[in-house]
Chains A and B, each alone.
Chain A
Amino acid sequence: MSRYRYSYFDHDADVGIVGYGVTLEEAYESAAAAMFALMTELPSVRCVRTIALTFEEADRELALVRWLNLLLAAAREHGLVFSMFALERDHVLWRGSASGEPWRAGMERGTEVKGATLTMLSVKQTDGGWEARCVVDV
């Protein structure tokens, strides 16, 4: 069973994603899983390659958008689809990684995500931990 907890919310043309986690970082990892699950069936993706990502961002909400967009860019740059995500934060410095494999025949093809947007962007603490949401453009 996936360790990621996520859901979706409605948007006319695009898709709203929500990631949940005990920690802020876990919620961001789950949001990443929600985004890549729009593109393929995550359980079928083998983790044969890992890409590291680092960025600086003081704004917590913008950090979510930057994290998601860096993952999209890394996936296209390396021709990969990701299914595993890890993220750590040290003040304004964020260190993350994503694991996956190249697209191959037989993989479920969903809808390509073009970018994470600032629409409905929110990161908030809840009774159960953290919730991170935004609309992604497809």
Chain B
Amino acid sequence: MDLARLQQIDAYSWSVPLQAGEQRAEVKLYGSAPLLATMDDKVLEQITNVARLPGLVGCAMTMPDAHWGYGFPIGGVAAFDPEHGGIVSAGGVGFDISCGIRCLRTGLQWNDVALKARVLGDSLFRDIPAGVGEEGNIQLTPAELDDVLLGGAQWAVRNGYGGPEDLEFIEERGCMAGAVPEHVSALAKKRQRGEMGTLGSGNHYLEVQVVDRIYDAAAAASFGIARGDVVVSIHCGSRGLGHQIGTDYLVSLAKAASRLGIALPDRELACAPIRSPEGEQYIGAMNGAMNCALANRQILAHLTRRVFDHHFPHAQLSTLFDVSHNTCKPERHRVGGHERLLYVHRKGATRAFGPDHPGLPVRYRDTGQPVIIGGSMGTGSYILSGTAESEARAFSSASHGAGRAMSRHQALKQWHGRQLIDALAGEGILIRTRSMRGAAEEAPGAYKDVDLVAEATEQAGLARRVAFLRPKVCIKG
């Protein structure tokens, strides 16, 4: 990205000056100069387009891990007021609705696990369905799937996957209100038939990680982690159902926008007013997909527990937190001294409520919400905590991952899957995958430096670093 097109506000935030005659809201980009310099110009083009959508409140924003997406950039955040013509956009949520990360403590230290790491990886790879074409063992009837769409992780717990203690530490207590299964197409439900309890492919993973560095001892204690602890992170989303809802509504909302007189700067921003039949239908379907994702991660957490129980009978896998990062949620935020109900789109961005937010579990009221920045399989991930200042800066939002620095096509030219896996094994990171191509596409070198992203997230005031997690065993789709 050409930094000359930006105006620097401070070391970690930038704005985009208005051109003569240009009509749009403000655009703000968070990140350091080196991070922004590596971003594609398309990020700027896409977030500027978002700033032209009706009913936007405040700025259209990008997080430090932003990269070129479709419609919205990945790492894009935008809030809309339903009472002032605000819209909901299928392109602002994406295909993998409510994709997110479940982080589990294990109660184990790496010393307990190291000697069994290989066999643990083999068992997880056998029992966690992963990769294109892989189905799960759970086959649901259409009526049961409707219950999933209404109940989310609460449905999963009622059906024996995990316990009620998990729900306290999942966004929305595991169940997004407002799901309307009737607004989900029959095709979307058919696509989900064999996909409950599956990881998927691409950048999805299940990782056994060790807490390698602590940045904030008090917050780490509150989160129940210490140096040397083993945790498990599960990154996946709403699978075929979410993909099909995205597909269905991307085209129907693109057509609706034109019918409703909304001039779209990019058709991919397909949207409708929140207070319109088309908007309400999409929201009802999207909420169902969010519940599908929450249930999916709850099932995968249960499958992970079974594997750990087998190899480490004294392990206690408890949910640290479950965050989603492809969502549009109604939330109350303070704008200009007044509290307003806004629909906050986070496309590849994480909700990051600060301390004392009523939506947080009591355990985290002093620290703020756990925020997880998932890194590549060779580098590591961060746990952060939400800050009070993030509310004013970004409607309580933060980065969600390292963010790609290189296309998949370029990565394939540069790395070979087998060689990469062998090299990572030499560094003590075991990879289990059915896809050599997928491994090459996900090469650590194809991602931005996660350390820089986490540092920029903290310096921009979006969230504070608590701990760094180093990967040890990675199940890739």
Q: Report A's interface with B, CB cutoff 8 A.
A: 8-15, 39-40, 62, 65-66, 69, 72-73, 76-77, 79, 81, 103, 107-112, 114-119, 121, 135, 137-138
Contacts and interface: CB of A to CB of B under 8 A. Distances in A.
Nearest to A68: B247
B68 A109 contact: no
- Secondary structure of the A contact surface, majority rule: loop
B114 to A, nearest CB: 29
Contacts of A12: 40, 42, 67-69, 74, 404, 407
Contact of A135 (B70, B191, B437): B70
B191 A73 contact: yes
Interface stretch (B28-36, B128-136, B175-183, B456-464): B128-136
B251 A62 contact: yes
Contacts, number: 129
Interface string B417-452: 000000000000000001101100100000000000
Nearest to B434: A109
Given A10-B410, A112-B200, A121-B267, A65 B404 contact: no
Contacts of B435: 108-111
Interface in B358-411: 404, 407-410
Contacts of A137: 70, 94-96, 243, 246
Contacts of B135: 79
A107 B134 CA distance: 12
Given A65-B251, A119-B71, A109 B243 contact: no
Given A76-B191, A121-B267, A111 B247 contact: no
A13 B270 contact: no
A73 B270 CA distance: 21
Nearest to A113: B132
A109 B438 contact: yes
B45 to A, nearest CB: 11
Contacts of B195: 76
Nearest to B194: A79
Nearest to B130: A109
Contacts of A65: 250-251
Contacts of A111: 132, 201-202, 408, 435, 437-438, 441
A116 B244 CA distance: 10
Contact of B133 (A77, A103, A121): A103
Given A11-B407, A112-B202, A69 B247 contact: yes
Contacts of A118: 70-71, 91, 250, 254, 266-268, 270
Given A14-B69, A111-B438, A114-B243, 10 more contacts: A10-B407, A11-B407, A12-B404, A15-B407, A109-B133, A109-B435, A111-B437, A114-B96, A117-B70, A119-B70
A76 B71 contact: no
A10 B409 contact: yes
Interface string B232-251: 00000000100110110011
B466 to A, nearest CB: 27
Interface string B177-204: 0000000000100110111000011100
B268 A77 contact: no
A13 B201 contact: no
Contact of B190 (A9, A62, A66, A77): A77
B477 interface: yes
Contacts of A108: 435, 437
11 contacts: A9-B409, A12-B40, A13-B67, A13-B74, A39-B132, A62-B254, A77-B191, A109-B133, A111-B437, A114-B246, A115-B243
B285 to A, nearest CB: 14
Contacts of A62: 251, 254
Contacts of A119: 69-71, 268
A107 B268 CA distance: 34
Interface string B113-154: 000000000000000000111110000000000000000000
Contacts of B250: 65, 115, 117-118
Contact of B68 (A11, A114, A138): A11
Contacts of B202: 111-112, 114, 138
